[in-house]
Amino acid sequence: MCGIVGITGVPQVAYPLLEGLRRLEYRGYDSAGIAVAKAGGIVCYKEKGKIKELEEIIDLDDLDASCGIAHTRWATHGQPNRENAHPHLSGKVAVVHNGIIENFGALKVALSNKGYVFHSETDTEVLAHLINDLYRGNLEKAVQQALKLVDGTFGIAVIHADEPRKIVGARRGSPLVVGVGETANYLASDVAAILGHTRQVIYLDDWEMAVLTPEGVTTTNIDNQQITKDIEEITWDLDQIQKGGYAHYMLKEIFEQPDTVLDAFRGRILPATGDVKLGGLELTDWELRSIRRIIILACGTSYHAGLVGEYLIEEYARIPVEVEYASEFRYRSPIIEPGTICLTVSQSGETIDTLEAMREAKRRGAKVIGITNVVGSTIARESESGIYIHAGPEIGVASTKAFTGQVTILTLLTLLLGRRTHISAEKGMQILEELQRIPDKIRQVLDQSDKIREIAKAYAQDHNCLYLGRGVNFPIALEGALKLKEISYIHAEGYPAAEMKHGPIALIDPQMPVVVISTRDGSYEKIRGNVQEVRARHGKIISVVTEGDTEIAALSDHVITIPPTLNMLTPLLSVIPLQLLAYHIAVLRGEDVDQPRNLAKAVTVE
């Protein structure tokens, strides 16, 4: 995830700026840059890759100043390269930005018409030009005016060569913190960057701005009204900060899901028409209507997201879908007919099996579309078009937020395809209305984390676990089982609930916990029957039910509830308690959940 550092009042400011960037490295990034304000103009260096590579190209004498900004970029718009790296410049203005400017297309046209030239593919460059265009000798005023024209999210730091001791910061939806020093002041997207200088901080809220000089900090709202903010003292150490106060990256990432799901659909939904826009797809309406078959290629957790996609697309868009393990697809002779598109689903975009399967599909004439998290990854580059899930870097080896991001994108794709064939405007609007409630509903499930931890205590020493689900929750049963086995090393299997009686029922006894996803939908009665079968054999039942359920709850040893939602959106909620259950069981067993044995974050070798 992108990182911002700004410092004013320190001679040779490039050194502490680079040090600040290093403290943000844990967030993941693919390019970095630095700019300082000098009376003559802005001096800026940026480079693709790591901070080390940036350091190799910079001239520290050239950067000799006491006020500057720096950035680590995790690509969202455009490839990770030098041009797209921040800071972005326009005249005497330099800007670093975290977040997404949703109306950057329209702003770009307007600014181009005024003669501004764009050097990057980023949404941020419009901000630099906009601020430059509005600048009349007062930077904070220009920033205020510019931000009123912008839709989307931002945390920004801006400098201007004519006011070379000043940094202006502003936030809406993307964190920004001011560090208050004795003779210098600091701005960052994450306190980790400034902890070495001060522990006195001011957290900006949405629609707030800060103006920093070496002598002091003023805080205003975007309408230029002064506001008084409390100065807080940081008591956390660096490790705690990097994990956002959570014990593990995995837990932090589980708790990020209300935001990452929102980021996956933000700016892509059209609630007024019940429709969706997925710009990166580059398919016309006619091409969308011509799709005859979809093959989804993926591995592991991404494969499970693909299975959810199969249920959704077939039911709501009525297009035949096959989901195949990429490792199988690449070594057989798959049949690709005209009108077939391949969706390659991969968090890292580097998984070798998925990449090779995609190449094979392409060779055989399929149109390939990447659904990835890492911008500029090999799959993103080699697919003909793609959709990013915008989940930010996933550091925990066990994938969590990438899964819900992938499912969100597949839900959007279902709606896009369905609205051109079978889904009415009214139905589309209903789906989008409910999708917008999902982040809050995820929060409600996360609120049960302590309760799930208590449940986990009863099962942490078990050796086996069975997960059952039907319909769209069957892939969730598979995903729950995968999460448990990879981080706790407990043997776990996921099954379609009705399959239990064709074999696995033989295993059920008082030592076999069975996690049943039994939400209120068309198959509720059937799954209740499956739960009764487990109970009759004295298996222990942990059920995930819809709030208000009493019937299955009465048959269960432990109950976790999820808020009611549309059946098609249920996976976005039902997977959360299973992630938490796996996490708490692994922690109770003393396992290193962020670095499970034998597993790598990206499997780039066969």
Does 300 bind ligand F6R (CB under 6 A)? Our answer is yes
How far is it, in rounded angstroms, from Cα 170 to Cα 69?
A: 14
How far is it, in rounded angstroms, from Cα 288 to Cα 530?
A: 40
Letters for 253-292 (x = contact with ligand F6R by CB under 6 A, - = none) are ----------------------------------------
Place of tokens 């091409």: 287
- Judged by beta carbon, residue 198 or residue 372, the one nearer ligand F6R is 372
How far is it, in rounded angstroms, from Cα 394 to Cα 248?
A: 12
- Cis peptide upstream of residue 87 (ω within 30 degrees of 0): yes
Q: How far is the CB of 483 from ligand F6R (least distance, A)?
A: 6
User: CB of 460 within 8 A of CB of 283?
Assistant: no
Q: How far is the CB of 354 from ligand F6R (least distance, A)?
A: 5
Residues 486-545 contacting ligand F6R, CB under 6 A: 486
Q: Which residues, in sequence order, are CB contacts of 335 under 8 Å at separation 6+?
A: none
How far is it, in rounded angstroms, from Cα 199 to Cα 488?
A: 37
Q: Which residues, in sequence order, are CB contacts of 453 under 8 Å at separation 6+?
A: 580, 584, 588
Q: Which stretch binds ligand F6R (CB under 6 A): 263-271, 299-307, 363-371, 419-427?
A: 299-307
User: CB of 299 within 8 A of CB of 482?
Assistant: no
Residues 354-373 contacting ligand F6R, CB under 6 A: 354
Q: Which of 398, 455, 531, 560 binds ligand F6R (CB under 6 A)?
A: 398
Q: How far is the CB of 356 from ligand F6R (least distance, A)?
A: 12
Q: Which two tokens stand for residue 68?
A: 């500057």
Q: Which stretch binds ligand F6R (CB under 6 A): 75-83, 95-103, 258-266, 296-304?
A: 296-304
User: CB of 48 within 8 A of CB of 99?
Assistant: no
Q: How far is the CB of 269 from ligand F6R (least distance, A)?
A: 24
- Judged by beta carbon, residue 209 or residue 374, the one nearer ligand F6R is 374
In the set 141, 229, 485, 601, the catalytic residue is 601
In the set 2, 67, 342, 465, the catalytic residue is 2
Does 399 bind ligand F6R (CB under 6 A)? Our answer is yes
Does 411 bind ligand F6R (CB under 6 A)? Our answer is no
Measuring CA to CA, which residue among 196, 131, 120, 197 is closest to residue 159? 131
* 2 is an active site residue: yes
For β-strands 232-233 and 269-270, DSSP reports them as: unpaired
Does 31 bind ligand F6R (CB under 6 A)? Our answer is no
Does 378 bind ligand F6R (CB under 6 A)? Our answer is no
Does 579 bind ligand F6R (CB under 6 A)? Our answer is no
Q: Which residues, in sequence order, are CB contacts of 2 under 8 Å at separation 6+?
A: 27, 29, 71, 72, 73, 74, 86, 97, 98, 189
How far is it, in rounded angstroms, from Cα 155 to Cα 550?
A: 46
User: CB of 190 within 8 A of CB of 24?
Assistant: yes
Does 352 bind ligand F6R (CB under 6 A)? Our answer is no
Q: How far is the CB of 378 from ligand F6R (least distance, A)?
A: 11
Does 299 bind ligand F6R (CB under 6 A)? Our answer is yes
Q: How far is the CB of 250 from ligand F6R (least distance, A)?
A: 9
Place of tokens 């941020």: 124
Give burial (CB, 10 Å; 0-12/13-18/19+) of 557.
middle
Q: Which of 301, 383, 404, 518 binds ligand F6R (CB under 6 A)?
A: 301
Name the residue number minimizing CB distance to ligand F6R.
300
- Judged by beta carbon, residue 299 or residue 531, the one nearer ligand F6R is 299
Q: Which stretch binds ligand F6R (CB under 6 A): 220-228, 230-238, 294-302, 408-416?
A: 294-302
Does 351 bind ligand F6R (CB under 6 A)? Our answer is yes
Q: How far is the CB of 307 from ligand F6R (least distance, A)?
A: 13
Q: How far is the CB of 517 from ligand F6R (least distance, A)?
A: 18
Residues 317-346 contacting ligand F6R, CB under 6 A: 346
Does 347 bind ligand F6R (CB under 6 A)? Our answer is yes
* 601 is an active site residue: yes
- Judged by beta carbon, residue 508 or residue 575, the one nearer ligand F6R is 575
DSSP string spanning 298-366? E-HHHHHHHHHHHHHIIIII---EEEEEHHHHTTS-----TTEEEEEEESSS--HHHHHHHHHHHHTT-
- Judged by beta carbon, residue 348 or residue 383, the one nearer ligand F6R is 348
Q: Which of 242, 257, 260, 302 binds ligand F6R (CB under 6 A)?
A: 302
For β-strands 491-496 and 513-518, DSSP reports them as: unpaired
Q: How far is the CB of 543 from ligand F6R (least distance, A)?
A: 23
Q: How far apart are the first and last CA of the chain?
A: 28
Does 234 bind ligand F6R (CB under 6 A)? Our answer is no
- Judged by beta carbon, residue 111 or residue 582, the one nearer ligand F6R is 582
Q: Is 471 helix (H, G, I), strand (E, B) or coil?
A: helix
Binding site for ligand F6R (CB under 6 A): 299-302, 346-348, 351, 354, 398-399, 482, 486, 602-603
Active centre residues (catalytic):
2, 601
